[in-house]
Each structure stands twice: as C-alpha cells, then as structure tokens.
Amino acid sequence: MRTISHRELRNSSAKVLRDVQAGEIIEVTNHGEVAAVLVPPSLAPFERLVAAGKVRPPLDRSVDLRRLRRSKSASTTTEILADVRGER
C-alpha cells in the first residue's frame, strides 16, 4: 500500500487513478493524517474493508459456519440487537 499527499493526488490524479485501476491500493493524507483509501473497484466489499483496515481476515479459514447446528432462542433478533446496543 502506497501513501501519497492530497497535493500529489491533485497534481497527478490521472496517474494515481491509473495505478488504482491497475490494482494498487493508495492512502491519501491531508495534513499528515490518512483522509481516504483508494481501492480498485474490482475488490469485493469485504476486501475493501480489509484494505481500509476496518476489519481483519479470519486467522483460521477452515471453519465453515454453515455447518454449525442452528438453535432456537426465546428472544427475537430485534430484542437481542436492542440488548447488545444497550437499548433495553
């Protein structure tokens, strides 16, 4: 991942966009702080989140969540979410 300043993006936007289109991920800083992350549009939403540092991929990819046995809950999904959010 490459980091460039806002000024460099402004002055060389065509080249920067070509680099991103070619698959490069570029962080853009403004006053020394990352203001944006440019990612190729071909990345899946999850891959975009990983590239932006918002999530991390699982350490153990061998787990298949579809194989977990389902169970019933006395609470509805809405009630569970409200509890997690502290709304109950």
Write the pLDDT tens digit of every residue in 38-61: 988 877 888 888 877 889 888 877
CATH number of the domain to which 6 belongs: 3.40.1620.10
Q: Which residues contact 20 (CB under 8 A, 6 or more apart)?
A: 26, 38, 39, 40
Q: How many domains does the chain have?
A: 1
pLDDT digits (tens, 9 = 90+) for 60-71: 778 787 888 888
pLDDT for 41: 82
Candidate from 1-10, 25-34, 43-52, 72-81 with smallest mean pLDDT = 43-52
pLDDT band (50, 70, 90) for residue 80: very high
Whether residue 11 is contained in a domain is answered as yes
| β-strand pairing of 26-30 with 33-38 | antiparallel
Assess if residue 28 is contained within a domain.
yes
80 occurs within a structural domain = no
**Domain for residue 47, yes or no?**
yes
Q: What is the pLDDT of residues 2-19, one digit of tens each?
A: 999 999 999 999 999 999
pTM score of the predicted model: 0.52
Give the structural domain span for 4. 1-57
